[in-house]
Amino acid sequence: MQVTTSTTTVAVAGASGYAGGELLRLLLGHPHVEIGAVTAAGNAGTPLGAHQPHLVPLADRVLAPTDAETLAGHDVVFLALPHGASAEIAATLSDETLVIDCGADFRLDDADEWASFYGGDHAGTWPYGLPELPGQRAKLQNATRIAVPGCFPTASTLALLPAVSAGLVTDDITVVAATGTSGAGRGLKAHLLGSEVMGQLSSYGVGGVHRHTPEIEQNLRATGAAAPRVSFTPVLAPTARGILATCTAPIADGVTAADVRTAYEKAYASEPFVHLLPEGTWPQTQATIGANAVHVQATVDDRVGRLVAISAEDNLAKGTAGGAIQSMNIALGLPEQAGLTTVGLAP
Amino acid sequence: MQVTTSTTTVAVAGASGYAGGELLRLLLGHPHVEIGAVTAAGNAGTPLGAHQPHLVPLADRVLAPTDAETLAGHDVVFLALPHGASAEIAATLSDETLVIDCGADFRLDDADEWASFYGGDHAGTWPYGLPELPGQRAKLQNATRIAVPGCFPTASTLALLPAVSAGLVTDDITVVAATGTSGAGRGLKAHLLGSEVMGQLSSYGVGGVHRHTPEIEQNLRATGAAAPRVSFTPVLAPTARGILATCTAPIADGVTAADVRTAYEKAYASEPFVHLLPEGTWPQTQATIGANAVHVQATVDDRVGRLVAISAEDNLAKGTAGGAIQSMNIALGLPEQAGLTTVGLAP
Amino acid sequence: MQVTTSTTTVAVAGASGYAGGELLRLLLGHPHVEIGAVTAAGNAGTPLGAHQPHLVPLADRVLAPTDAETLAGHDVVFLALPHGASAEIAATLSDETLVIDCGADFRLDDADEWASFYGGDHAGTWPYGLPELPGQRAKLQNATRIAVPGCFPTASTLALLPAVSAGLVTDDITVVAATGTSGAGRGLKAHLLGSEVMGQLSSYGVGGVHRHTPEIEQNLRATGAAAPRVSFTPVLAPTARGILATCTAPIADGVTAADVRTAYEKAYASEPFVHLLPEGTWPQTQATIGANAVHVQATVDDRVGRLVAISAEDNLAKGTAGGAIQSMNIALGLPEQAGLTTVGLAP
Amino acid sequence: MQVTTSTTTVAVAGASGYAGGELLRLLLGHPHVEIGAVTAAGNAGTPLGAHQPHLVPLADRVLAPTDAETLAGHDVVFLALPHGASAEIAATLSDETLVIDCGADFRLDDADEWASFYGGDHAGTWPYGLPELPGQRAKLQNATRIAVPGCFPTASTLALLPAVSAGLVTDDITVVAATGTSGAGRGLKAHLLGSEVMGQLSSYGVGGVHRHTPEIEQNLRATGAAAPRVSFTPVLAPTARGILATCTAPIADGVTAADVRTAYEKAYASEPFVHLLPEGTWPQTQATIGANAVHVQATVDDRVGRLVAISAEDNLAKGTAGGAIQSMNIALGLPEQAGLTTVGLAP
């Protein structure tokens, strides 16, 4: 689907939500695209500026309905829709159109795992938009359908990938990931009210039931793990953006911290959006806000025989919209870094 | 050291810090004590109100120097001092005086572990102020020296205690604990500035080096674990107060979620300050703010064969000052709940 | 309505909201009351603990419906209901019952102002629960109906009262008050989501349309102002609790900062819940969290000829529930400070 | 000092602070500059990445000392230094070099006002970097010395400018501006610790003593006010970035809200970085984070006869570093919008 960059038109479905807003924020700074339709469900008919006051150049755009007619005719369509809504609208779009789904519908390979974690029928599997996985860039080139990874899987996978792919750890993995509230979306739920969130640390999806669990395991299998078992627990923290994933895994016999360092340096030496921190320095989410960046560090806890690997990302940026655009760039044959930055906004 | 309650005078050393302030906040509402000397190091000579504007009834008290002369003659002396400063001042205080150290100096049994994690000579071991440990209340009655547990060990131990003491788990334990910033104290450090902390999730003390690690293991041994190995990672979160500890451990063969529930119900049925949440409900730190309370919940992740146990507490309250007063009450023969509440301040 | 303290039963209508939760938090620590019915509208039938996890001793109480039958038979009924819902339920309650309305329905004297700011018919006027107003305590003694002030009027009035009552300022008053989000209640509104609130400062109710405006003016008239005109602007800030009100007014000819200090010292010398700060020190909301306390400071800006008076309070405590209980204490002939503290929770 | 864009080299002095970090963040995305020396005082000799982990492309740059030798030879030198440090270093720099001072040293015209608010000798007056002031762009073209406005003056002036310049208001002005903590810089001060700042609203610089007061008045005079008197009060709020300025002024006889709207529309129709919001919509700081943007709205409170004008900005962006780069662009003859965006980062 190689296109001439001057004519790439993109539509964003779900433009009044957080993922949709972040897609538009980044696309406004992308040198090779033109923003076409911006659509919504309940908010259709209202100006985008009423929902996304930070997107000043698009303030007067009126949200169109999310339907086949509106989305037709674009080179790229981003879907930032509630769970389960992508398949139907995607089916209406031309095979020539690059459709990038920020939802979960097309992420999992295994229909049984889908049924177990999401329930209902499996919509299918699209090329998975995590270019840092082994061999994945080739699968994304010229793709016309892409499933954007979940925010936790991106952070967790990139924290563990070098250790797993080098065979430095075994499969009893734990991930505890603190996340900002924007990952839960803009729906009105009592536990997401500012008064409930500020000054608060809380757990949810505990006990192996969070839907991102099989996706993390799928990624680790793609990285070389034979039968990874991931104990995954998310923690809700009082910030709008940011994920900090703390991952541990049993270290293989004889593996040292130096071996780990070498593996991480090698794995990420030429990855444009993964930043291995200097030794002794640990990730901070602030450094990644607004950037298409994952910051990573790892060490070995010799006393207990575990690798500890930690990553930080902006869940809306590299964790969703930035990752989506990175995959778009690859699919369209654009420079992978077009419209993306590794520079975060801090403090 | 049974005293008549009407005459219990208490001094607080380190009254201009966060732990000292929380001790005074709680002591102001304690029905059986009278606040005597309030002392500080660099802030001596200034009014307490300049540092603790919330302690209005004590606003005009002038901070005295932290020295033997000032602290002498009180029934109880709380030490809320920087690491390493307690031993010297404690040595000057009468054996009749109940000295309660909120610092780490006297927490560890093992001199080698002390040397390994803290460096230098081990000051000694005092009765450990976690009454919920098996048999611990008896050790605290009539004690005249008490070491207050660290905030992370209190949260982690109480999350795991029922499972460990019932033999439901084995020893490869992981703890990831998100904490508010007040746990780091009031010292001036760049990474604790508001601009660095807000909107930020970050790691520190990673890789098995945090000083609370051997203390958690010591507590788990006291609870019945043979050789617990704890992978402990703290996470700094944007709130002043609160710890949420996410703990996992391999579940023993055949143990079910129902077994776990039964063990937790039994362990905490008569603990006044540990609140086992209703099934399916997970801890939130907001519910514990200002309270001498730890909220706990646990389940089994059957897919990976791990217990997941989570606790929430206010690091300054049950995690430090509240726990200290609970132990004081026991040592003095006062009602254990005197001056303490299980009701948090939310939202 | 003098009652024997041992038998005072209280009901709280609207117990699943923030004001209702704060009433219950304080009533749990009140030595002279017993908590009877706790009621809700949509949440009736669910356990209180599902909504107020910090109120552990009441966790298993099931919320009853807010109706006449449930509320009957209590000595005191607190109404913490949405705007406009109080009048109907209050009409069903005995004249012997002390009914304390935390809503706006009965605050304003003037039916025209009611119509102008609230619309619709004026329900009436109840004794106004701000005991610090001149002569107000006498009006509250033995009252059986009390209207709790709005949170902004409490803060603004107490910032300005000494200057107004001493005739030190003239009537062109400005108030800009930053507030935490809990003042907006627990209703599900997009702009109150944590993701929208954190990292955010925003305005609402600008231009003289906020409903607390005529109430502030009414209070200033009660304090001695002839025809106060108040330009009032609220600002929403990223914290759950707290109001900081910055008030200015033209200083009368020849009035000095020393005159102002004298007036404030005199006005508040014996007020138990208003704390005039030491000279040169300015209010901080943290110092008032959870306390029935307003902290006040004032000075004169000679360059521009304006008094600047600033107050801090916890909008849920002294600003709503604490103030309500203070008025209850007066009405019932209990000690005014029963169940209330001036000690805030900080940090 | 017209330069060819391909050769513009810039140095940033004070690169380890917040203003310096924001300058570098923006300059990294500027199409016409190359970043030369980055300097610091106490942090000289350490890598920039240790202080600014978000500036990944510059992580390995070692901070040089802030001295004449290091700064010499650049086309542009930005000074982001503590108060009082700019004059000395500026004196060493060539007249050909464009020196842009983010500090206060050269902002005020009047030596008496300088002495009154800052104390000591007045260093002088440089062209003032607020291009939106009447006639100011002409003064900045080819300038070689520019004083960047204070963050509060930028917000306050742009809120009031259209009303003042159209003669719609008289001179008794009040400004209450809530600000994030980054405006106070990165120095270690107890009241800026995260534990003190979160959950906190507080006042400082009250009573007409804040140093930005005369600068606001100077700007209003430049806008046409005869003798503006500004009562200015800052409020510290729990966010890293953002200023929300609430400004009021007596409305002139007969002026209506429609007149105000017309004046604001006219004043800002062609200003690239001032965004007049749709009627009925009020500014939010989130919408401006990271952007070179001030969002403005105004109305008339007829009851009290005052204009209420509110502005939002990011204090580090348009309030400091963005404004500095905007002025640089004008001085160098570059497109005014080069390297700047009007799109904020939200949520």
Q: DSSP assignment of B245-278, as one string?
A: EEEEEEBPTT--HHHHHHHHHHHHTT-TTEEEPP
Q: Catalytic site residues of B?
A: 151
| Residue D310 token pair | 């509110």
Q: Which residues of B touch D (CB under 8 A)?
A: 18, 180-182, 186, 188-190, 192-199, 238-240
pLDDT tens, position by position, D76-95: 999 999 988 999 999 999 99
Beta-strand (E) ranges in chain D?
8-13, 33-40, 64-65, 76-79, 98-101, 145-147, 172-179, 202-203, 229-236, 243-250, 274-276, 294-301, 306-313
Catalytic residue among C26, C133, C148, C151: C151
pLDDT tens, position by position, C113-144: 999 999 989 999 999 999 999 999 999 999 99
CA distance C280 to B323: 36
Q: What percent of chain B has pLDDT over 90?
A: 97
Chain mean pLDDT for chain A:
96
Local confidence band at A2 (pLDDT 50, 70, 90 cut-offs): very low
Q: For residue C5, with 0-12 CB atoms within 10 Å meaning exposed, 13-18 middle and 19 or more buried, which class applies?
A: middle
Q: Which residues of C touch A (CB under 8 A)?
A: 18, 180-182, 186, 188-190, 192-199, 238-240
Query: Looking at the predicted structure, is the pLDDT value of residue A4 above 50?
Result: no
Q: pTM of this prediction?
A: 0.97
Hey, what amino acid is at A271? Answer: E
Query: Looking at the predicted structure, is the pLDDT value of residue D4 above 90?
Result: no
What H or E segment, with its residue span, contains residue C307? strand C306-313
Q: What percent of chain A has pLDDT over 90?
A: 97
Q: Which residue of C has its CA nearest to B339?
A: C29
Residue A3 has a pLDDT of 44
Which of B54, B197, B276, B342 is the best mutation test for C, with the most CBs of C within 10 A?
B54
pLDDT tens, position by position, A249-267: 999 999 999 999 999 999 9
pLDDT tens, position by position, D5-26: 467 999 999 999 999 999 999 9
Q: Which residue of A has its CA nearest to B196?
A: A347
Q: Which residue of D has its CA nearest to C213?
A: D303
Residue A117 has a pLDDT of 97
pLDDT tens, position by position, B216-242: 999 999 999 999 999 999 999 999 999
Query: Looking at the predicted structure, is the pLDDT value of residue D3 above 60?
Result: no
The full DSSP string for B42-55 is TTTTSBGGGT-TT-
* Neighboring chain B residues of D190 at a CB cutoff of 8 Å: 186, 188
Residue A6 has a pLDDT of 61
Degrees to nearest 5, angle at CA B307 with B302 and B309 = 135
- Residue A196 C-alpha, separation from nearest chain C C-alpha, in angstroms: 8
Chain mean pLDDT for chain D:
96
Beta-strand (E) ranges in B70-171?
76-79, 98-101, 145-147
Give me the torsion for CA of B213, B214, B218, B224, rounded to 10°: 60
What region, left, alpha or beta, does residue A161 occupy, with left being phi > 0 and alpha being psi -120 to 50 degrees? alpha
pLDDT tens, position by position, D256-308: 999 999 999 999 999 999 999 999 999 999 999 999 999 999 999 999 999 99
CA distance C244 to A127: 53
- Residue A63 C-alpha, separation from nearest chain B C-alpha, in angstroms: 30
* Cβ proximity of A182 and A316 under 8 Å: yes
Sign of CA dihedral C187, C190, C195, C201: negative
Among residues A29, A35, A28, which one has the least CA distance to residue A8? A35
CA distances from A97 to B261, C311, D86 (A): 52, 60, 56
pLDDT tens, position by position, B145-192: 999 999 999 999 999 999 999 999 999 999 999 999 999 999 999 999
Cβ contact (<8 Å) for C54 and B289? Answer: yes
Local confidence band at B87 (pLDDT 50, 70, 90 cut-offs): very high
Tracing tokens 């700064």 back to the chain, one arrives at D71
What region, left, alpha or beta, does residue D107 occupy, with left being phi > 0 and alpha being psi -120 to 50 degrees? alpha
Residue D263 has a pLDDT of 98
CA distances from A343 to A290, B258, B286, D12, D49 (A): 8, 49, 34, 17, 12
* Cβ proximity of A116 and A136 under 8 Å: no
CA distance C167 to C223: 10
Residue ranges in chain A assigned as alpha helix (H): 18-28, 68-71, 86-91, 111-117, 136-140, 151-165, 194-197, 212-223, 257-268, 322-332
Q: Which residue of D has its CA nearest to B183?
A: D195
Tracing tokens 């005079």 back to the chain, one arrives at D221
Task: Work out the number of other CB atoms within 10 angstroms of the CB of residue A96.
Answer: 9
Cβ contact (<8 Å) for C284 and B53? Answer: yes
3-class DSSP assignment, residue D72? coil
Q: Which residue of A has its CA nearest to B206?
A: A308
The gap from C-alpha C191 to its chain's centroid, in whole angstroms, comes to 23
Local confidence band at B4 (pLDDT 50, 70, 90 cut-offs): very low
pLDDT tens, position by position, B33-86: 999 999 999 999 999 999 999 999 999 999 999 999 999 999 999 999 998 899
Print the SS3 string covering A292-314.
CCEEEEEEEECCCCEEEEEEEEC
Residues with Cβ within 8 Å of B35's Cβ and at least 6 positions away in sequence, in order, are B9, B10, B12, B24, B27, B28, B58
Residue A69 has a pLDDT of 97
Compute φ and ψ for D155, nearest 5 degrees: -65, -45
Among residues A289, A277, A52, which one has the least CA distance to residue A180? A289
pLDDT tens, position by position, D154-174: 999 999 999 999 999 999 999
CA distance D122 to D109: 9
Task: Work out the number of other CB atoms within 10 angstroms of the CB of residue A14.
Answer: 29
Query: Looking at the predicted structure, is the pLDDT value of residue A272 above 90?
Result: yes
Catalytic residue among A24, A27, A151, A225: A151
Using CB atoms, which residue from D181, D190, D197 is nearest to B186?
A: D190
Q: Which residues of A touch D (CB under 8 A)?
A: 18, 21, 25, 28-29, 47, 49-50, 52-57, 59, 182, 198-199, 240-241, 275, 277-278, 281, 284, 286-291, 293, 295, 341-347
Average pLDDT over residues A73-96: 96
Antiparallel, parallel or unpaired: β B274-276 and B98-101: unpaired
Task: Work out the number of other CB atoms within 10 angstroms of the CB of residue A201.
Answer: 29
CA distance A288 to A319: 11
Hey, what amino acid is at A94? Answer: S
Cβ contact (<8 Å) for C186 and A193? Answer: yes
Give me the torsion for CA of A176, A179, A181, A185, rounded to 10°: -80
Query: Looking at the predicted structure, is the pLDDT value of residue D137 above 50?
Result: yes
Cis peptide before A347 (omega within 30 of 0): yes
CA distance A203 to B160: 16
Tracing tokens 């570059």 back to the chain, one arrives at D334
CA distances from C298 to B50, C226, C229 (A): 18, 21, 20
pLDDT tens, position by position, C229-251: 999 999 999 999 999 999 999 99
Q: Which residues of B touch C (CB under 8 A)?
A: 18, 21, 25, 28-29, 47, 49-50, 52-57, 59, 182, 198-199, 240-241, 275, 277-278, 281, 284, 286-291, 293, 295, 341-347
Query: Looking at the predicted structure, is the pLDDT value of residue B90 above 50?
Result: yes
Q: Which residues of D touch A (CB under 8 A)?
A: 18, 21, 25, 28-29, 47, 49-50, 52-57, 59, 182, 198-199, 240-241, 275, 277-278, 281, 284, 286-291, 293, 295, 341-347
Cis peptide before C347 (omega within 30 of 0): yes
Residue B83 has a pLDDT of 87
Query: Looking at the predicted structure, is the pLDDT value of residue A273 above 80?
Result: yes
Residue numbers in chain C where pLDDT is lower than 50: 1-5
* Cβ proximity of C278 and C334 under 8 Å: no
Rg (CA), chain A: 19
CA distances from C32 to B75, C9, C27, C318, D151 (A): 31, 9, 9, 19, 53
Q: For residue A293, with 0-12 CB atoms within 10 Å meaning exposed, 13-18 middle and 19 or more buried, which class applies?
A: buried
The shares of helix, strand and coil residues in chain B, as percent rounded to the nearest 5, are 30, 25, 45
